[in-house]
Structure 1
Amino acid sequence: MYAMANFGSGTTDEAGLRLLYDETCRLCAGSAKAAEAMTGNRVVAMPLEDGPSAGDVVLEMPSGRVVGVRAWLAVMRLGPRWARALSAVLGVPPLLWLAAVGYRLVARTRHLLFGRCTIG
C-alpha cells in the first residue's frame, strides 16, 4: 500500500494530479467525473491501464501515488468545505480503517451493484 501524500496543513501537491480509474465500471467513471467537478478540474481523470493497481482508484502526483480510499480522501481535500471536513473526519483511525473496509467491500462487489466491470 502506498503512503498518504502530505495534504495536511493546507499545502497540496496539486500540479499534475491524475486520477486513474476503471473506465468500464459505471461507479468508477461517475466518481471520476464527480472528482473533476468537485475539485474544479485540479484533478484530471484518466482510464487506468491493467497493472498492479487494477481494481483500485489511483491518484498520481509528482511526489508519488496514493491508492484506494486514501486516494479519495486526498481528492476530497481539494474539494469544497464539506468534502474537506468529511475527509478530515474519515482520515482519523479507526474511521480510516472502517472507510478502507467499506472501500474494499464496494470494490469487490461493484460489478453486482453498478453493472459490468472488466478490471478487478
Structure 2
Amino acid sequence: MRRRTTRRQPVLVYDGDCAFCTSSVRFAERRLRPRCEATPWQFADLARLGVDRRRAEHEVLWVTPAGSVYGGAQAVARLLMSSRGGWPVVGALLTLPPVRWVAHAAYRLIARNRHRLPGGTAACALPSSARSSRQPS
C-alpha cells in the first residue's frame, strides 16, 4: 500500500514489546547508523504510514518517504542499504534471488524463535494480543 507523505527519511517499524527486536534495532542504530527513524509499532501512527496493524505485529517494516512498504528480510535489506560502511552491499545482495529467498526463510526462522535468542524474553513468544498494549495516550 502506498501513501503520500512529507517525511524526508524512511521509518523502520518494529515490535517494541520484544526485547530481541528492540536490542537488534538499538544495535543497528549504534553500529550501522542507518539513515532512518526507528519506532515501535506500538507508538507509530500506522495509518499515517499506510501500514496495517496485523502486518506490523507480524514483521519488521521499512516505510519509504514515498510510502512503499517492505517487510521482513526485505525491510532488513533496506535498513542495511541505508547504513554506512560496507553494509549497503550486503543489503543489496539480500534483494537478489536466490539470496532473497534464503534471507526470507532465515528471517521467518528467527522471527519464530526470537524468544530463544540473546536479548529475547518470554514476551517475544506471546501473540501480540496476549501482551500488554502500550498505546500512546
Which bin holds the TM-score, normalised by the shorter protein? 0.7 to 0.9
Task: Give the letter for the 1:110 counterpart.
Answer: R
Deviations 1:75-118 (A, max 9, x none): 11111232111112222111110000000011011122222324
Tell me, what secondary structure is at the counterpart of 1:81? coil
Q: Once the 2 structures are TM-superposed, how far is the Cα of residue 119 of structure 1 from its aligned partner?
A: 4.7
- Structure 2: give runs of 5+ residues left out of the alignment: 2-6, 43-51, 129-137
The equivalent of 1:51 in structure 2 is 53
- Structure 1: give runs of 5+ residues left out of the alignment: 3-13
2-structure distance, mates of 1:23, 1:79: 21
Larger Rg computed on CA atoms: 2
Task: Give the letter for the 2:12 counterpart.
Answer: L
Match of 1:115 among 107, 121, 135: 121
Residues 11 and 62 in structure 2, CA contact (< 8 A), matched pair in contact too: yes
2-structure distance, mates of 1:48, 1:66: 14
2-structure distance, mates of 1:62, 1:90: 21
The equivalent of 2:33 in structure 1 is 39
Task: Give the letter for the 2:22 counterpart.
Answer: A
Residues 69 and 103 in structure 1, CA contact (< 8 A), matched pair in contact too: yes
Alpha-carbon RMSD: 2.4
1-structure distance, mates of 2:115, 2:66: 32
Deviations 1:46-84 (A, max 9, x none): 111381211310112222211111111011111123211
Q: Once the 2 structures are TM-superposed, how far is the Cα of residue 34 of structure 1 from its aligned partner?
A: 2.9
Misfit runs of 4+, over 4 Å: none
Shift in CA distance, 52/119, structure 1 to aligned 2, threshold 3 Å: same
Q: Which has the higher helix share?
A: 2
The equivalent of 1:60 in structure 2 is 63
Normalization by structure 1: what TM-score?
Answer: 0.76
Alignment of 1:15-34 (within 5 A): 15-34=8-27
